[in-house]
Amino acid sequence: MTDAIAFVFARGGSKGIADKNLQQVGGLSLVARAIKCAQESQLFDHVVVSTDSTAIAKEATRFGAEVPALRPAELASDSSPEIDSWRHAIGWFSDRSGRPVFSRFVSVPPTTPLKTADDIRRALNALDADCDIVVSAIETSAHPSYALVEKDENGFARLFLPTTAPIHRRQDASTAYALCSTVYASTPEHLQSARGVLDGRVRILEVDRRAAVDIDDEFDLEVARLLAD
């Protein structure tokens, strides 16, 4: 049985940026950076790209990744749950009974191009018998009990998550984390039955703000390019 497989999930379509996963940061496309980051961790016999795009598939194979097949269109839309794509990719490495032939699953999202091989190593090291999945996050000062608001029925601001005793200073609040898509680690068995990414016993892997930069629009892309230089 293969131990761990790294997967790069890279859709061809994007509303924010055309051909987003082929955009370059630091002289490499986003999908190429994710592949090279996984390779540099020296943890995987297989680095696999799941995509619906022939252009991304060509780029992936050019950088030494495997593309077993193109992802079905129904798993590549803006509304497709990420975990469904994960399950589909697990199927590439399962036997005829549907049992995975590898023990650990790692997702290396291309949209967070400033991650390092050490982030991937730390995620895999954090995955043990006491948790089902490792997700990345950064500590945030935007605490929902004093810094985040929503609009009430009249359009006025109210705390998103008010407490009995008002919190006036960040130091008085519990530590809050903002999830980011730097890296995920889990087992294929857990993902086959999970209801979502945050289902089960979820361990937080803290990453730095640089590794958490996530490209959603042109501004994010500009920031990533400046930081990569």
CATH label of the domain that carries residue 17:
3.90.550.10
State phi, psi for 59 to the nearest 5 degrees.
Answer: -65, -40
The pTM (predicted TM-score) of the whole model is 0.93
Would you say residue 23 has pLDDT above 90? Answer: yes
Q: Taking the CA atoms of the chain, what radius of gyration do you get in angstroms?
A: 19
126 assigned to some structural domain: yes
- Tokens coding 125: 């090291």
Can you give the residue range of the structural domain that contains 22? 2-135+182-199+209-228
Nearest 10 degrees: CA dihedral of 68, 73, 74, 78? Answer: 110
Beta strands per DSSP E along 108-218? 133-140, 149-151, 157-159, 176-186, 202-206
158 assigned to some structural domain: no
Q: Which residue type sits at 193?
A: S
The mean pLDDT of the chain is 93
Would you say residue 122 has pLDDT above 90? Answer: yes
For the chain, the straight-line distance linking the first and the last C-alpha, in angstroms and rounded, comes to 40
143 assigned to some structural domain: no
147 assigned to some structural domain: no
Inter-CA distances, 171 with 8, 140, 177, Å: 38, 12, 14
Q: Name the residue with higher pLDDT: 2 or 20.
A: 20
151 assigned to some structural domain: no
Beta strands per DSSP E along the chain? 2-9, 24-25, 28-29, 46-50, 102-107, 133-140, 149-151, 157-159, 176-186, 202-206
150 assigned to some structural domain: no
Buried b (16+ CB within 10 A) or exposed e, 173-201: beebeeebbbbbbbbbebbbebeebeebe
Would you say residue 206 has pLDDT above 90? Answer: yes
Q: Which residue type sits at 87?
A: R
Q: What pLDDT, in 10s, does the model give residues 180-199? A: 999 999 999 999 999 999 99
Q: What pLDDT, in 10s, does the model give residues 37-71? A: 999 999 999 999 999 999 999 999 999 999 999 99
146 assigned to some structural domain: no
How many distinct structural domains can be found in the chain? Answer: 1
